[in-house]
Amino acid sequence: MINATTISVPPIFSWSKIIDYLQRNEDEITYQITAQQTIRKAFQDNHQILIVDISFLRNKRQLCLQVINHSSASVTHEIIDYVCDWFDLKTDLAPFYEMAKKDELLAPLIDRFDGLRLVGEPDFYEALTWCILGQQINLSYAYTLKKRFVENFGTKIVFRKHTFWLYPQPAEVAVQDPEKLRQLGMTQHKAEYMLNISKLLVTGAIKKSQYLRQQTATKTEKMLCKLRGIGPWTANYVAMRCLRYGDAFPQTDAGLLNGIKLIQQLDEKPSKQQMRKLHQQWGQWSSYATFYIWRLLY
């Protein structure tokens, strides 16, 4: 392969489980998956857009990254870092699996989703706005809103008759009128939250780096909740999927509560006291426990 770059994957890794997760909604617009289980995604590289194929070399246990729309272009360090973060390749899951196999709630999930990594959202702006888009609506409609948002404010590139999209940039959204966002199907509050977050990132008032410096998800949650439109659920989601805090735990999340109820065959959702106990029990693996329970439902 010309200009191909490879990344070794950790021992606990399943490409098929990751692909299954990424294919859970047909309205996803920020990447495409081929019949050969190759991910195709557009990346901004200075003044050009690179379309990168990400495939799995099973015999070598490596991910192979290759630019397909520019014969002379190579995959940049920024793209490699993005992919490593996206699939959480640097986390050793052996301690989590050791703990989970002894946990009555998690043990059956380890067998079912063996090798699944906590698929993240490395881009801070995308993580924040995706959370806002998804607030208080079902997952299917959240993807519909995301698709409209990207198609209206993102950057499009057509290659081999296929359309690829770059996620919108804060500067593009910050100058919009709230009504433009409302026309996509957002509520007034949601449109205002999106604009506020966009403006804060444009001015540099908030940066991913300042939240990465915190030592726990609890500290990060308190900081994020100072932002308009960001509550405990959104803060924990971002801490979990973007900032990679292992102790992040959105304990009031409906999917998490319903998943636990389903696994334990409870008549009612677990109480706040039960959820606090689980958080203490899972500690730094609370994020992974949450992700695996979510995967049971969607």
Q: Where are the alpha helices (DSSP H) in the chain?
A: 15-22, 77-86, 94-100, 107-112, 124-134, 139-153, 170-174, 178-182, 188-203, 208-212, 217-224, 232-241, 254-264, 272-282, 286-297
How do 162-166 and 155-159 pair as beta strands?
antiparallel
Supply the angle between the helices 124-134 and 188-203 in degrees, to the nearest 10: 170
Q: Are 181 and 156 in contact (CB under 8 A)?
A: no
Catalytic residue (choose from 53, 88, 247, 253): 253
Q: What are phi and psi of 26, to 5 degrees?
A: -75, -15
Query: How is residue 82 written in tokens?
Result: 């993005």
Which one-letter DSSP state was computed for residue 283? G
Coil, strand or helix: which one is 180?
helix
Q: For residues 195 and 251, give the distance between their C-alpha atoms in angstroms, rounded to a whole number.
A: 27
Q: Are 147 and 23 in contact (CB under 8 A)?
A: no
Smallest CA-to-CA distance from 287 within 220, 229, 222 is with 220
Q: Residue 21: which region, alpha, beta or left (left: phi > 0; alpha: psi -120 to 50)?
A: alpha
Q: Are 224 and 234 in contact (CB under 8 A)?
A: yes
Q: What are phi and psi of 224, to 5 degrees?
A: -65, -35
Q: For residues 228 and 218, give the distance between their C-alpha atoms in angstroms, rounded to a whole number.
A: 18
Q: Is 177 a catalytic residue?
A: no
- Residues taking part in catalysis: 253
